[in-house]
Amino acid sequence: MTQLRTVQVLGGGSAGSSAHVRSLAAGLVARGVRVTVCAPAELDRLYDFVGVGAEFAPVPRRGDPATVAALRAVCVGADVVHAHGLHAAVRTTLALSGQRMPRVPLVVTWHTRAHDEGARGRVLRLLERRAARAAAVVLGTCSELVDRARSQGARDARLAPVAVPVPVPAPRVGEDGEDVEDEGQEGKARAELGAVDRPLLMAVGSLVPHRGYETLLDAAGQWRELDPVPLLVIAGEGRQRGALQRRIEAEALPVRLVGRRDDIADLLAAADLAILPSRWEARSLLAQEALHLGVPLVATSVGGVPELVGDAAELVPYGDAGALGEAVARLLGDAGRRDELVRAGRAQAGTWPTEDETVAQVLSVYDEVVARG
């Protein structure tokens, strides 16, 4: 039997889609599939696709005219090409429609949707439609994305709630080199962030408008009335960082921007609450990690979030700083409700598909589209 060869294509590579591709590559390789990951070079340094047995082909970031040519070369001889995200799907569609390319089935996973408005938003929706129609199968990570793909003309759109690795805080190691079972690591994280004697709130994600951080800062202004005043820590980078930092300083808000971190599981495990204030999310990585780790979550009731968390989080309307601020203050003052959310969160996380189940579903899709010829 001929070894199946797949090419996995990432564009900008959000944390969720990159973690999924690494997990998917590891699982496919373990099943005897040959996997090549195409992505900007820095993503292999961050996610080590080669370390799980995949081949890696660096391609320039979006907007570079060399990207399509590079993708076309890598896709020659592939049995299935799988693009993750809109920009990856559009470039892959162009690559597969290149001169003298044999027909290769394209699978596309939509991890999120375009957030741009105006002229750019209209262009992105046209590109979205083209990619949806070019794909043999579109996999949506939440029901809303599946409906969106169908409305954009997808021939076959299916729900595929992808799994990502369960977060594991770094082991606590004593002076003798042995693991220790105390709370030293969490205390160390809180001390580093400046939250030893005050509640610690964590938000994680790129600093861009659709993440809802302006509303979150509005809510943070309300928490100055609490005693002790909680500290909000936001981990992530993006084009809004300068504006957010200036506002934090001008209003003396109890907020710290800590940039991109590689110890998110440790920071979350040390937090009293996790907050997800986004305008739209499909299968939020932060929400999954918080529930797995037993951290109570306050999130906006948008997109796929209610479907993901069920009754295991406090949900508030997007853009409502008052509701967000009130929900956080109420939870900080109610240890019993926090304990309920911890139990419910872990139970809800137990209903999500495992990495192994996700790989099996995707591989069955590959077998199906290859059999179609």
Compute CA distances 307 → 92, 176, 252, 351, whole Å. Answer: 30, 46, 36, 12
DSSP one-letter string for 195-216: -SSS-EEEEES--SGGG-HHHH
- Average pLDDT, stretch 123-128? 86
Same domain for 210 and 256, yes or no, is: yes
Burial of 99 (0-12, 13-18, 19+ CB in 10 A): exposed
Same domain for 199 and 153, yes or no, is: no
Say if 169 falls within a structural domain: no
CA 322 to chain CA centroid, Å, is: 26
Same domain for 237 and 147, yes or no, is: no
The CA distance from 140 to 252, in Å, is: 41
The CATH number that applies at residue 24 is 3.40.50.2000
Residues spanned by the domain of 65 = 5-163+353-372
Q: By mean pLDDT, which of 179-183, 210-214, 231-235, 307-311 is the weakest?
A: 179-183
What percentage of the chain has pLDDT greater than the value 90? 76
The CA distance from 76 to 170, in Å, is: 41
Same domain for 132 and 9, yes or no, is: yes
- Find, among 231, 228, 286, the residue nearest to 257 by Cα: 231
* Number of separate domains in the chain: 2
Helix (H, G, I), strand (E, B) or coil at 173: strand
Same domain for 241 and 118, yes or no, is: no
Same domain for 194 and 135, yes or no, is: no
Residues 6+ apart with CB under 8 A from 90: 127, 130, 131
Same domain for 195 and 325, yes or no, is: yes
Q: pLDDT digit string (tens) for 90-99?
A: 999 989 986 5
Say if 174 falls within a structural domain: no
Global model pTM greater than 0.75:
yes
pLDDT at 312 over 80: yes
